Amino acid sequence: MPKTMFEKIWEAHVVRETVGQPSLLYIDLHLVHEVTSPQAFEGLRLTGRKVRRPDLTVATMDHNVPTTSRSLPILDQISKKQMEALSDNCREFGVTLYDIHSKRQGIVHVIGPELGLTQPGLTIVCGDSHTSTHGAFGALAFGIGTSEVEHVLATQCLPQSLPKTMEIRVNGKLGEGVTAKDIILAIIGKIGTDGATGYVVEYTGEAIRALSMEGRMTICNMSIEAGARAGLIAPDEKTFAYIQGKTFAPQHAEWDEAVASWRQLPSDPGAKYDTLVELNAAEIAPYVSWGTSPGMVIPISGLIPSPDDYADAADRRAAERALEYMGLTAGVSIQTVALDTVFIGSCTNGRIEDLRAAAGILKGHHVRAGIRALVVPGSVPVKLQAEAEGLDTIFKDAGFDWREAGCSMCLGMNPDILQPGERCASTSNRNFEGRQGKGGRTHLVSPQMAAAASIAGHLVDIREWDKN
Amino acid sequence: MESFTKVTGLAAPLDRVNADTDQIIPKQFLKRIERTGFGQFLFFDWRYEADGTTPNPEFELNQPQYSGAVVLITGKNFGCGSSREHAPWALADYGFKAILAPSYADIFYNNCFKNGILPVVLAEETIAMLLERGKTAGYTMTVDLENQTVTDSEGFSQPFEVDPFRRHCLLNGLDDIGLTLQHEPDITAYESKRPLWKRGAVAA
Ligand code: SF4
């Protein structure tokens, strides 16, 4: 019987099956960061357990780290304590750690692929919901809670019940100025923030195949925003080319063996998914979020919706609340709303390709007076690469703050936050109330759209911007 | 792991959809390295005014009639967003033992069972009705995992579905790491067959 890629990966990782119980799956790679791991390590200590496979476990610091100069002392003592706890835990349990002084440090979902740790066909977990990012390589990757982090540390396995499968097929070609970010925002807008709950999604179709690895990561990254357990994209020559030569990529005979196995992964013709969703890429405009959930999105040319547009009473109330929180009026063009801040970064859009795209728009321009603009590379290697290409100069000349690597204003655990009422165009993934700072108002956009918005002082249609 | 068999007590309605884990426990409280003490920060940004100390009178759970509530009734897709287990830690520490909603986000749902909280799925219309009933002061409910029923002080009674294995673990407060470790020979056998190129963080 023809099989989906998901089924192939799942079956290859079942350690044990017992009727009436979840399957016990083997985990090939466990990524760890400072926020969701301290209680898990503490649990191991309390029960006298060890980390079963330190070689399959890699830790970094990203959520809490200041992104100002690394030579400055860390002022937030509680953050500092959490980072120290990770260092101590990694030392005690023998886990590799890339701390803030490492050349490999960065957002956990940026460094996995960059180091060649993320490979097709693997099972990858991390105590972070955006672990779905790694699915761009054809790996089954999903976020877990701290109890499960402890479970994987102790056993390298995780009991999992079988999810359903959904194919999201994006046919045709994207228009000029439309990016991977716009595809995924359009998808979430269409199916809703719980549209894929209980499913593993596989993205297929011409528009997905045409994306770079960075673009594919952006798509899979935000799968969780549609509720999906994981997102997957079949590996191809682009995938192999991206991985080859990376620090932890297989080498020599092992490389050939690995690639041969990876070629077997894509879903077989005729494989069955539980659900199919189709989109036409040509109809996708640059998207922007207007509300407080990633499903509250409109095309940039659209008008801010009215609560009356929603059939369901609960959704209507949610829209009312969102309009109030966001300080917006229904029926108005989103392009007329003035911004205070522009943030370029995060595990969604903090990779080198994203910085290149933003710099391409900014070159020769300046950020509008009164706008605070910051760019936070997703990792130290991204930062160094950007500097080697001179992108840092373009950003700085345009008036952007050029930062060290980390999550930064994506969730505002470090000192970079919005003040109440401040409005931000952000390349991150969540526009929840208070996500970027209590009372802060977030509009999710692509890097190109964020860059153009920083120059204009408000959101603009990047397709028309090009003609200026 | 904490066990759960049955709870009877005050029920509080939180009539919102898509309440995400950033709202349940905002990020500024994720820096603690303990599992305990998160209840005081539950729904912090909704619960308090901008000064962070004055209770917001508009926020549902701040009404005195809900003080001591053990059952939370809420809208669909509860617990979406971040995987932070601090969310169920905060709910449990605040005193909630069971949640009733039309649907939950996967990771949050899973995290609840690890912390002795029972998330019950009920039909959207049923939840809409219970949210209404919850407005009455002194409204109490019983959530019974053993018999898989939800009942209230006004005669409502309904069975609910739950995965039998999850139910078994929660009723008995089983340590699921311990359960997995019983299969250690299977894990070792699996490991012996893993291809060499799956080296993780060790370069060839
Ligand atoms: S960049 Fe944002 S979404 Fe990504 S891991 Fe960091 S905090 Fe989470």
Contact list, B1 vs chain A (CB under 8 Å) = 147
Tell me the sheet residues that pair with A372. A341
Q: Does A82 contact chain B (CB < 8 Å)?
A: yes
Which of B1, B23, B83, B184 best tests the A interface by mutation, with the highest count of A CBs <10 A?
A: B83
Query: According to DSSP H, which parts of A162-236 are helical?
Result: 180-191, 206-209, 213-221
Which of A9, A30, A129 best tests the B interface by mutation, with the highest count of B CBs <10 A?
A: A129
The percentage of residues in chain B with a pLDDT greater than 90, rounded to a whole number, is: 93
CB pairs under 8 A between A and B: 206
* pLDDT tier at B111, thresholds 50, 70, 90: very high
- Quote the CA–CA distance of B19 and B56 in Å, as a whole number: 17
- Quote the CA–CA distance of A279 and B48 in Å, as a whole number: 42
What one-character DSSP code corresponds to residue B38?
-
Residue A467 has pLDDT above 50, yes or no: no
Please state, as a whole number, how many other Cβ atoms lie within 10 Å of the Cβ of residue A44.
18
Task: Quickly list DSSP for A422-440.
Answer: -EEEESSS---TTTTSTT-
Mean pLDDT of the residues in chain A? 96
B20 — phi, psi (to 5°)? Answer: -95, 165
Radius of gyration of chain A (CA): 21
Q: In angstroms, what CA-CA distances link B19 with B26, B65, B82?
A: 12, 22, 11
- Pair of tokens at residue A223: 């799968």
Q: In angstroms, what CA-CA distances link A306 with A28, A185, B104, B156?
A: 47, 19, 26, 36
- Quote the CA–CA distance of A299 and A313 in Å, as a whole number: 24
- Quote the CA–CA distance of A247 and A251 in Å, as a whole number: 10
Q: For chain A, give the number of residues.
A: 468
Q: What b/e string do you get for B1-10 counting C-beta neighbours within 10 Å, with b at 16 or more?
A: beebeebebb
Q: Residue A415: its pLDDT value, please?
A: 86
Q: Does B103 contact chain A (CB < 8 Å)?
A: yes
Chain A: residue nearest B115 by CA?
A: A147
- Quote the CA–CA distance of A398 and A392 in Å, as a whole number: 10
Radius of gyration of chain B (CA): 19
Contacts of B17 (CB under 8 A, 6+ apart): A314, A315, A317, A318, B75, B76, B77
Mean pLDDT of A83-98: 97
Tell me the pLDDT tens digit for each residue of A326-350. Answer: 999 999 999 999 999 999 999 999 9
Q: Residue A466: its pLDDT value, please?
A: 63
Tell me the pLDDT tens digit for each residue of A413-440. Answer: 888 999 999 999 999 999 999 999 999 9
- Contact between A135 and A122 under an 8 Å Cβ cutoff? The reply is no
- Pair of tokens at residue A390: 């001179």
Mutate to test the pocket of ligand 1, among A63, A111, A403, A424 (most ligand atoms within 8 A of CB): A63
Compute the C-alpha angle B95/B97/B103, nearest 5°. 120
- Pair of tokens at residue A327: 């300080």
- Quote the CA–CA distance of A16 and A33 in Å, as a whole number: 29
Contact list, A229 vs chain B (CB under 8 Å) = 106
B135: left (phi over 0), alpha (psi -120 to 50) or beta: alpha
- Contact between A300 and A32 under an 8 Å Cβ cutoff? The reply is no
ipTM (interface predicted TM): 0.95
Residue A193 has pLDDT above 70, yes or no: yes
* pLDDT tier at B2, thresholds 50, 70, 90: confident
Instruction: Report the DSSP pairing between strands A140-143 and A297-299.
Output: unpaired
Compute the C-alpha angle B47/A127/A35, nearest 5°. 60
Residues A433, B16: C-beta atoms closer than 8 Å: no
- Contact between A94 and A370 under an 8 Å Cβ cutoff? The reply is no
- Contact between A407 and A62 under an 8 Å Cβ cutoff? The reply is yes
Please tell me chain A's helix, strand, coil percentages from 3-state DSSP, rounded to the nearest 5: 40, 20, 45
Query: According to DSSP H, which parts of B95-175 are helical?
Result: 106-113, 124-133, 164-172
Mean pLDDT of A152-166: 98
B151: left (phi over 0), alpha (psi -120 to 50) or beta: beta
Query: Looking at A184-340, which runs of residues are DSSP E strands?
Result: 199-204, 230-232, 275-280, 287-289, 297-299
Q: Residue B187: its pLDDT value, please?
A: 98
Tell the residue nearest (CA) to atom 2 of ligand 1.
Answer: A410
Q: Residue A310 burial by CB count (10 A; 0-12/13-18/19+): exposed, middle or buried?
A: middle
Q: Residue A300: its pLDDT value, please?
A: 97
The percentage of residues in chain B with a pLDDT greater than 70, rounded to a whole number, is: 100
Give all strands of the β-sheet with A14-16 in edge-to-edge order.
Answer: A14-16, A23-26, A157-160
Q: Give the residues surrounding ligand 1 with Cβ less than 6 Å away.
A: A 62-63, 107, 109, 128, 130, 346-347, 407, 410-411, 428-429
